[in-house]
Amino acid sequence: MLISILLIGISLSMDAFAVSVTNGLTLKNFNVRHALWMGLYFGGFQFLMPLLGYLLGSTVSHYIMKFGPYISFALLAFIGGKMLLESIKPGEEEADGMAELRHKNLLAAAVATSIDALAVGVSFAFQEDLKLLPSCLLIGCTTFVISFGGAMLGSRIPKLNGKKAGIVGGIVLIGIGLKLLIEGVFLK
């Protein structure tokens, strides 16, 4: 059972990994603290969402999951679109096109990339031999490590100029949103 939960954690963390790599690539003055924040946000939500899904069981979660792909897409498309616009038309705050770490953006990305963990939590409600808290903790810790590593990896990729990095980052986030939308709507 432990190996299964670890594999679930790894698969759930792939979108968070991609967002973390993008953030590592595009953040101005990137440092380890940024990577820790990403790990905490993404890992924390990947820990909390299965718990919430478990509590919701099969009642209310059906309605939430029905709109999950749309919510994920909207959040990531908004963040990615904003990043693209800031890169194409620099404002006073980010004239070089590089992004600042914003907790509201991390929060939105963490929610968007962890909605599928809500569905996993619902499935947990129907598994009698599952130890809920250790399972959710393993998923959260796995995502923390993978997100932290992704951010560090992204920061090591040779920097594009600020505008190009912002454009690439925005496109990647919109692409992840589209992937989640397509998977959630068309590939059920």
Does the pLDDT of residue 94 top 50, yes or no? no
Please check whether residue 32 is in contact with residue 61, taking contact to mean a CB–CB distance below 8 angstroms. no
Predicted structure pTM score: 0.77
Write out pLDDT tens, residues 140-184.
999 999 999 999 999 888 765 566 767 777 788 788 888 878 988
Does the pLDDT of residue 90 top 80, yes or no? no
How many domains does the chain fold into?
1
Domain that holds residue 128: 2-185
Q: Read out DSSP for 3-53?
A: HHHHHHHHHHTHHHHHHHHHHHHHBTT--HHHHHHHHHHHHHHHHHHHHHH
Task: Identify the residue with better confidence: 97 or 38.
Answer: 38
